[in-house]
Structure 1
């Protein structure tokens, strides 16, 4: 059975990472969460006071990019790879609402995108990879055999994200999470460099009313069609 590249793009909190992890585990493929990479850069920028709600020192962040080292390490207990920033596991720190509020601002910077896209393309040179993000099917792997574009209503996505954060013990309000979802949608779709758009050959999956099981089976059928073609 041939190995393929699977690119999963879409709006924030549509469950891209959950689906990608399921697929990678089922197929024995490598999984790469590009969102975690952008979150790690954002966390780095926050630590060094390069970015805040009302401030972005783009030049300082760009100058520091050579000193910023990202890699994933597989955690067998969790069943997926965790994000490491300069040798430190930051998987928990990058999943906060504070990072979510700033990540789209950092992801707009062309130099940041260029650095990460180069790393992502290197990771996928041997295929057998599932990668999710905002520009995987349009920029990172424009020739991917299977491209999925995931969407759901802002309210549905905000509720999912709110439930996830509360479950992790974070003190947030649904209103704040919904506002963050809509702000990220706007920034992601309006940035000049690699805006979030559906690739012409991507298959759209609206999972507003889908269970995770239904979604997984739908996409698994799409994968089967590609690997046996």
Structure 2
């Protein structure tokens, strides 16, 4: 079984991906980490995230097995990921990595922004997760504060809105629900309620 979860930044799709994978005994891939990894390579070397040539080279050389999730969960990496993910060369380089992961037994849960529309259009279950920009900014702000990062909630909200505009407006694989995706709004839901709602959607799709 392949479960595709898409949605904007901080909508809760990553947490749902991990929990659904554990619930159904599947592997999990947070595809956003791939793009964060590309951005991290550029930024760590002192290059801007909008360096298209270097971004494509970094994507082609990326080893998904060596990604450090904690190091990549920064505001800079997230902002950079939104920039490099707009480059067709970067998306093309990472396409096969994601599809191979999804195809390996016994199946997988992938979360990102184009899983149901591009990466796994034939996924058994597609869920599009969303939440208000304000709620998503509040969640991300709390994450950053827990890590001791100095950032204001207003700054996080501005970043969320910029990323939403880039993700939905890019020419290649824009963020949008697949035609057959089941929608899940987590604005008013805590983690446990969101997981329960997602499991219910999966079970409904399987029936």
TM-score normalised by the shorter chain: which range applies? over 0.9
Query: How far did residue 69 of structure 1 move?
Result: 2.2
Does the C-alpha gap of structure 1 residues 209 and 48 become closer, same or farther in structure 2, counting only changes over 3 Å?
same
How many residue pairs get aligned? The number is 206
In 2, distance between residues paired with 1:64 and 1:39? 11
Give the SS at the match of 1:51: coil
Corresponding position: 1:58 with 2:55: no
Secondary structure at 1:26 match in 2: helix
Q: How does 1:48-87 map to 2 (within 5 A)?
A: 48-52=45-49, 56-71=50-65, 84-85=66-67
Change (3 A) 1:65 1:20: closer
Equivalent runs, 1:148-167 vs 2, <5 Å: 148-167=127-146
* TM-score of the superposed pair, with normalisation by structure 1: 0.85
Conserved? CA contact 2:55–2:84, under 8 Å: no
Q: How does 1:62-141 map to 2 (within 5 A)?
A: 62-71=56-65, 84-85=66-67, 90-125=68-103, 126=105, 128-141=107-120
Counterpart selection for 2:193 from 208, 214, 228: 214
C-alpha spacing 1:225/1:41, structure 2 compared with 1 (3 Å): same
User: Which protein has the larger Cα radius of gyration, Structure 1 or Structure 2?
Assistant: 1
* TM-score (norm. length: structure 2): 0.94
In the TM superposition, residue 127 of structure 1 has moved relative to its aligned partner by: 5.2
SS, match of residue 130 in structure 1? strand
Distance 1:127 1:121, change over 3 A: farther
Shift of 1:188: 0.1
**Distance in 1 separating the partners of 2:62 and 2:2:** 27
Q: 1:98 to 1:143 in 2, by over 3 A?
A: same
Contact 2:56 2:93 in 1 (8 A): no
The 1:218–1:67 alpha-carbon spacing in structure 2 relative to 1, beyond 3 Å, is: closer
In structure 2, how many angstroms separate the alpha carbons of the residues matched to 1:50 and 1:107? 16
Residues in 1 aligned to 2:38 and 2:58: alpha-carbon distance in whole angstroms: 10
Paired with 2:52 and 2:188, the residues of 1 have a C-alpha distance of: 40
Please list every run of 5 or more consecutive structure 1 residues that lacks an aligned counterpart in the other structure: 72-83
CA pair 23-104 structure 1, distance change in 2 beyond 3 A: same
| Partner in structure 2 of residue 76 of structure 1 | none
From the two aligned structures, give the one with the greater strand fraction: 1
Residues 130-182 of structure 1 deviation map (CA, whole Å, 9 limit, x = unaligned): 10000000000001111000111100000000001101111111111000000
**Residues 7 and 147 in structure 1, CA contact (< 8 A), matched pair in contact too:** yes
Q: 2-side partners of 1:95 and 1:216: how far apart?
A: 22
Residue 225 of structure 1: how far off its partner (Å): 3.0
